[in-house]
Chains A and B, each alone.
Chain A
Amino acid sequence: MKMMMGSSFPEEVLEHVFSFIERDKDRNAISTVCQSWYEIERWSRRRVFVGNCYAVSPAILIKRFPDVRCLELKGKPHFADFNLVPEGWGAYVAPWIAAASSAYPWLEEIRLKRMVIPDDSLELISKSFKNFKVLVLSSCEGFSTEGLAAIAANCRNLRELDLRESEVEDLNQSSGHWLSHFPDNYTSLVSLNIACLNSDVSFTALERLVGRCPNLRTLRLNRAVPLDRLAILLRRAPQLVELGTGEASDLRPDVLSNLSGAFSRCKELKNLSGFWDVAPGYLTGVYPICPRLTSLNLSYAATIQSSDLIKLVSQCQNLQKLWVLDYIEDLGLEALAASCKDLRELRVFPSEPFGVEPNVLLTEQGLVSVSEGCPKLHSVLYFCRQMSNDALRTIARNRPNMTRFRLCIIEPRTPDYLTLESLDMGFGAIVEHCKDLRRLSLSGLLTDRVFEYIGTYGKKLEMLSVAFAGDSDLGLHHILSGCENLRKLEIRDCPFGDKALLANAAKLETMRSLWMSSCSVSFGACKLLGQKMPMLNVEVIDERGPPDSRPESCPVEKLYIYRTVSGPRLDMPGFVWTKDEDSALGLS
């Protein structure tokens, strides 16, 4: 490329300077300075993040950024995690892999979230990218152990294989377990997460793999690996930093002492997870490493009760992140608050989410204690059965540094249990005091007023989740007109309809996406929005049949609106409708 007139630096220098600029926002900014900067920047961008795979097409991406090494894509909307998105909706990664296989031969990293990836694509990845290093499949589906076998067999430089929470089909292969497809001279594994696999793992293959990879830092096993085998693995890999155990139901003293010994030899171990069906007695084996732990995930450990949890967390003075079941109870959270002064993130999951009566003594008090005792706490996910405005106010005042606050009061529309009022004021206090709040999930009894507070104070809010809340369109209007930095909005079972949506249509182009299900948005409004806003895809998801067979004023089941530069997608299933070219009937 020629040096542009007027430019005082040769390209190579600029390129070198740009190599220090990593954040997408910053790179986007420098690309707007002038034409030559735009060109240099686009040729040198190595890392691309596409938050919605339908917002842009592979062709457009490749045209702009010809030499990408790390690609991250997200597919289905977040509510797909809770079965609200019908099967077959989309998020197919195959076209992306196909395009990348010819355009990006030097691709090193692929990270996918909520996408469908078939075995064919995995095979294509394994054969197309000679320097392939990192594969992270988060909440993905569509593939089997066959695809994993291809990755194992062909990716000589693989460092990371992380299947977190994906659904993997296990195919019994006569050629042997997929893990044994890693060649004998393959030694570069750094991170392996197979915790989501339901089936047995070939322990011999696993042990040999672990034994010959000296750089292995992260190993997350699945349930099928029993605890007595774990000690063997730990002895082969004492350098582990992150470990996910398997199952451990029978307490045997010899296994326990073996394990204790192995654990104490792992001087770098900081992050523990797993513990399915673990007999509480085994926890004593973990005590020696507790003071070093910074991250602990006990949210699968349904067999550990409050007293054992208290004993455990009281020894984890350096804990920064804790995921736990509500068996920890208020008492356990008090102990946590007293012992773990460095805690940054807390997630408390429900042990019996569908029970009507509380089965544990976990209330709003537990969260209040932690908010009082842990000055660095900024990220919370909390399931409980009762809440009060008082408690929320206290939490807000204690923790103005809160950035992510997700509260799920299990029964929809539950009022303040002390006053029987709505929780508007409580959540209002949260948004008012926590000025850096980026993510918020609401629950409990809420009127339009809470949205007025959110619109007024939630200026940094990027993601908002709303369920069974509000009285009228005013609520939605407050959010859309007030929250300047809103990127993702997901709503279910709220009486929000056409008016607020249409009045704030322009806002939707500034956001990544909007999801509304079981609300009151009419098909007519969807059509209108689709017609007027060419930069939005307005997808009506309705399993009852064609929306135009019902009156236009009838509410649609589900609505997914997202901005895009590549027009309506071509892979929609039968239950998704969007505008077509002439927008006449609004049929796809």
Chain B
Amino acid sequence: MELQLGLALPSNPTSKAFDLNYYGIEANSKEVDHVIGPCYTPSYENINDIINIDNNNNNKRSFGQAFENSTRDRVVPRTLPLLLWNNNRPNEEDDPKDLENHSLFAANKNVGDGDGVVGWPPIKSWRKRLCHENQVVRAWNNNLMVENGYVCGGRRASNSMYVKVKMEGVVIARKVDLSQHHSFETLTDTLMDMFRKSCEKNSNNYKLIYQDREGDWLFAQDVPWRTFIRSVQRLKLLKSSG
């Protein structure tokens, strides 16, 4: 990536600023926009009309004026598209949100408020946990009731509990409806079937891990099904060695 566009270089030039790796595991496209993207002053056609001029002391410049003068020297000119790399990203196997490393225990609290934006909608964490639990339990109850011959009266509430599943080495992620499962056997069978075309036939070559509410990655088989179903956020199938 080259930057030979007549930059007004900052006083501490460093190539670190443009090194994607520097931003570590959480760089997604949104972050990058902020970091490298709009290093320009937004349009201010009207602001000069409304900035308060300090009338009390005509010799002093107001903040607006002071800032105007200094930014001319500092700000990178608008014409510089510093987003080149953002638009032609090299072939990424993972979508931006999955740039986290695959360390099993990478606590990643900010990612995945239901795969949405961090902290939105503005609900406290414990309420979010409650919502998630309730969703799962409802899905369970509804399916159990259907199994046992009860009819769930016409509620519009969704019964399904889709979570994202990624298989190591496979580009496209899938989604699986956990409410249809009551044990790890049926789940892994279904998952292997989903990824049948993309992976080795033998399910013993893969280990199932899941990300819990706290953002930690755990081995699915290590916990009882009930614990798993109450806190699972997403799934991954890792190739097991040996």
Question: With an 8 A cutoff between CB atoms, is A186 at the interface?
Answer: no
Chain A at the B interface: mostly helix, strand, loop or mixed?
Answer: loop
- Residue from A351, A441, A467 in contact with B120 in the complex, judged by beta carbons closer than 8 Å: A467
Contact with B along A543-561 (1 / 0, CB 8 A): 1110011111111010000
Question: With an 8 A cutoff between CB atoms, is B128 at the interface?
Answer: yes
A495 to B137, CA, bound (A): 40
Question: With an 8 A cutoff between CB atoms, is B231 at the interface?
Answer: no
A472 x B121 contact (CB < 8 A): no
Q: CB within 8 Å of A: which of B142-190?
A: 155-158
Given A300-B130, A500-B47, A551-B76: A352 in contact with B63 (beta carbons within 8 A): no
- Residue from B46, B121, B126 in contact with A383 in the complex, judged by beta carbons closer than 8 Å: B121
Contact with A along B83-118 (1 / 0, CB 8 A): 000000000000000000000000001100111111
A221 to B50, CA, bound (A): 55
- Residue from A349, A354, A472 in contact with B42 in the complex, judged by beta carbons closer than 8 Å: A472
A472 x B122 contact (CB < 8 A): no
Given A81-B124, A353-B131, A550-B17: A503 in contact with B118 (beta carbons within 8 A): no
Q: Which residues does chain B contribute within 8 Å of A379, judged by CB atoms?
A: none
B124 x A165 contact (CB < 8 A): yes
- Residue from A82, A354, A503 in contact with B124 in the complex, judged by beta carbons closer than 8 Å: A82
Question: With an 8 A cutoff between CB atoms, is A7 at the interface?
Answer: no
Question: With an 8 A cutoff between CB atoms, is B225 at the interface?
Answer: no
- Residue from A277, A474, A524, A553 in contact with B40 in the complex, judged by beta carbons closer than 8 Å: A553
| Shortest Cβ distance from residue B197 to the other chain A in the assembled complex, whole angstroms | 28
A165 x B126 contact (CB < 8 A): yes
Q: Which residues does chain B contribute within 8 Å of A544, judged by CB atoms?
A: 22-24, 31, 35
Question: With an 8 A cutoff between CB atoms, is B203 at the interface?
Answer: no
A302 x B34 contact (CB < 8 A): no
Q: CB within 8 Å of B: which of A433-450?
A: 441
A555 x B38 contact (CB < 8 A): yes
| Shortest Cβ distance from residue A555 to the other chain B in the assembled complex, whole angstroms | 5
Q: Which residues does chain A contribute within 8 Å of B155, judged by CB atoms?
A: 305
Q: Which residues from chain A sit less than 8 Å from chain B, CB to CB? A: 79, 81-84, 87, 139, 165, 196, 277, 299-300, 302-303, 305, 349-355, 357-361, 383, 408, 410, 412, 441, 465, 467, 472-474, 477, 481, 492-493, 495, 497-500, 502-505, 518, 520, 522, 524-525, 528, 532, 543-545, 548-555, 557
B39 x A350 contact (CB < 8 A): no
**Which listed segment binds A: B8-16, B216-224, B234-242?**
B8-16
Q: Residue on A with the closest CB to B17?
A: A550
Given A503-B62, A548-B12, A552-B10: A351 in contact with B41 (beta carbons within 8 A): no
Q: Which residues does chain B contribute within 8 Å of A474, judged by CB atoms?
A: 46-47, 50
Given A349-B127, A477-B47: A354 in contact with B117 (beta carbons within 8 A): no
Question: With an 8 A cutoff between CB atoms, is B201 at the interface?
Answer: no
A84 x B135 contact (CB < 8 A): no
- Residue from B22, B67, B127 in contact with A499 in the complex, judged by beta carbons closer than 8 Å: B67
Q: Residue on B with the closest CB to A441?
A: B122
